[in-house]
Amino acid sequence: MDVAVLLFEGFDELDAIGPYEVFRTAAELGGDLDVSMRTLVPDEGVTARHGLTVAPDDVLFGVPDLVVVPGGGWTDRDRPGVWSEVENETLPERLDTLHGGGATIASVCTGAMLLADAGLLDGRPAATHASAADDLAEYDVDVRDERYVDDGTVLTAAGVTAGIDLALHVVERECSAGLAEQVATEIEYASTY
């Protein structure tokens, strides 16, 4: 399974790094997963919400099996983040194209706003950070107060740490419950997945 964690300026660190670590650990424990950090355009370093700079592995070419979209910066609209990516429209359009091409799209935290803007959450159940729940509902989304929501080819997670639960759920769904349990034990995470 090809997993792309999609980075953009102002993403929340844990929204991306938490799922990345879960998927990488699953691969190291024998899961058929290839995970990487990618951007839409070549970039030597992407600066996250709290100042961490991440060097992406590659540009997002083709259609991966799973695209993980972090959140960050929906409510602070003076800095780069989800809000500016929605305003720019390039990222939501690309997510729509990727989903149409067969990719499963998963968001963490306010990354759900990017999925909503892409039209991927129309009429679907979804989770997001509590601070964005009312805004997400304005997109005709059935907002759920859950750690994560699995609606087939579109998955969403609530705020920040819920991305770890989502990633463990994906490992269970795509690999096995045993592997998901091994990963949770390895990272010492008391999960609700």
Quick check: 24 pLDDT over 70? yes
3-state secondary structure the chain: CEEEEECCCCCCHHHHHHHHHHHHHHHHCCCCCEEEEEECCCCCCEECCCCCEECCCEECCCCCCEEEECCCCCCCCCCCCHHHHHHHCHHHHHHHHHHHCCCEEEEEHHHHHHHHHCCCCCCCEECCCHHHHHHHHCCCCEECCCCEEECCCEEEECCCCHHHHHHHHHHHHHCCHHHHHHHHHHCCCCCCC
- Asked if residue 28 is part of any domain, the answer here is yes
**Where residue 151 sits, what CATH number does that domain have?**
3.40.50.880
Q: What is the mean pLDDT of residues 59-73?
A: 97
Domain that holds residue 157: 2-186
**pLDDT at residue number 76:** 87
Asked if residue 193 is part of any domain, the answer here is: no
Report if residue 69 sits inside a domain. Answer: yes
Is there a domain that residue 154 lies in? Answer: yes
Task: Give residue 193's pLDDT band: very low, low, confident or very high (50, 70, 90).
Answer: low
* Count of the separate structural domains present in the chain: 1
Other beta carbons within 10 angstroms of residue 148's beta carbon come to 25
Task: Note whether residue 191 is domain-resident.
Answer: no
Residue type, 138: E
Residue 192 lies in a domain: no
- Tell whether 35 is covered by a domain: yes
Could you tell me the pTM of the whole model?
0.97
* pLDDT, tens digit, 9 for 90 and up, residues 89-139: 999 999 999 999 999 999 999 999 999 999 999 999 999 999 999 999 999
Across the range 59-64, mean pLDDT stands at 96
